[in-house]
Structure 1
């Protein structure tokens, strides 16, 4: 996928849900994975010509794994003219050495979000952008049904009153396969996730289930996405 097409998807989502206003300062959550690096490219590209002027800050929350090296990410941010900050934490030690968590994902996410919000506010950001894509949307819906017993999914735009920051998700129209193609085409400096439970989560199980069902019933993914837009508050396009 070419950058122009990627920016087109992102701009459509931004316009549909009025994600960006004049003068916004947006913190991009950069994990080092393919999704967040793709988001970094998309927003840094849009920043050059989008009619509403905005600024960017890239933030990585390091969990404390020694194997994680973000040097190449820092170089990419410099090339894209985006200020980059790495926040060092001891999250990995807390999860696996102190608490010895067998299901650490929820607590890990909570600790990361807290550290990210704190740094974003310190940098003067009023918004933050996460790289959730099309597949993340429908996977979240099914996970809510299967594991929580409710028809629910995160919204494209969410105001977080406790931290006084607005969360936006500009990649909701982008398929994961397109992100993979973009990563390969542009040789993105992906940082391998050293977490010992990476790839063994409920989300990964749900991803494989959707893939199997879609192969049996073509168009299933699109129908699930449409059900979200039609049935979940916060997913109706802004006028």
Structure 2
């Protein structure tokens, strides 16, 4: 995927769900993985020509694992002229050493998002961008169906009233396969995830399930995504424009 196509997908999501307003200061949550670095490129590129003016800052919550070298990410942010802040934490120690969680992902995600949201508020941001893509939305729907018994997925735009902070997901129309292609084409400086549970989660199970279904029924993932965004799910904002399958969405 070329940068122009990434920007097209991103702008469509931003406009469909009114994600960005004039004067926004948006924090980009950076894990060091392919998704968050692609999002950084997307918003940095959008900032250059989007009619509504906004500022960016990149923020990483360091979970405290040994060997987590963020210098490649810092170099990329310097190249893009985007300020970069690393928030130290002991979340990894708490999860794996003190609590010894057998299913650590849910608690870790909650603590990591809490630390990120608190940090970005202190930095003066009014919005935070997460790097969830189209596959994430479909996989989350499966997780919700299997483990919660409801048809649901996270919203493209969510206002957190306790924090007075808005969460946006500008890559919601981007396929993970395209993210991988973008990573390879632009040689993104990926930082390996040091988490002990990486690749052994319920989300990985949902990912493999969706992959199998789509392999056996070509186009099923796109149809499931269309079903999700067409259902007026609880907590989802109204779209400004109807979703249409085509070159910008498939």
Considering the TM-score relative to the shorter chain, is it more than 0.5?
yes
Of stretches 130-139 and 108-117 in structure 1, the one that deviates more from structure 2 is 108-117
Find the counterpart in structure 2 of residue 149 from structure 1.
149
Retained in 2: the 8 A contact 1:230–1:236?
Answer: no
Structure 2 CA distance for aligned equivalents of residues 4 and 33 of structure 1: 21
The answer to whether 1:237 aligns with 2:239 is: yes
Structure 2 CA distance for aligned equivalents of residues 77 and 161 of structure 1: 30
User: How many residues are treated as equivalent by the alignment?
Assistant: 239
What does residue range 10-49 of structure 1 map to in structure 2 within 5 Å? 10-49=10-49
Find the counterpart in structure 1 of residue 208 from structure 2.
208
TM-align CA RMSD: 0.9
Ranges of 4+ aligned residues in structure 1 off by more than 4 Å = none
Report the TM-score, using the length of structure 1 for normalisation: 0.98
Structure 1 CA distance for aligned equivalents of residues 49 and 144 of structure 2: 38
What does residue range 74-93 of structure 1 map to in structure 2 within 5 Å? 74-93=74-93
What does residue range 81-120 of structure 1 map to in structure 2 within 5 Å? 81-120=81-120
Find the counterpart in structure 1 of residue 59 from structure 2.
59
Of stretches 132-141 and 222-231 in structure 1, the one that deviates more from structure 2 is 222-231
Gaps of 5+ in 2: 242-250
Structure 2 CA distance for aligned equivalents of residues 93 and 218 of structure 1: 43
Find the counterpart in structure 2 of residue 6 from structure 1.
6
Structure 1 CA distance for aligned equivalents of residues 215 and 110 of structure 2: 34
Structure 2 CA distance for aligned equivalents of residues 107 and 56 of structure 1: 28
Report the TM-score, using the length of structure 2 for normalisation: 0.94
Structure 1 CA distance for aligned equivalents of residues 161 and 22 of structure 2: 21
Shift of 1:235: 5.5
Shift of 1:219: 1.0
Shift of 1:238: 2.3
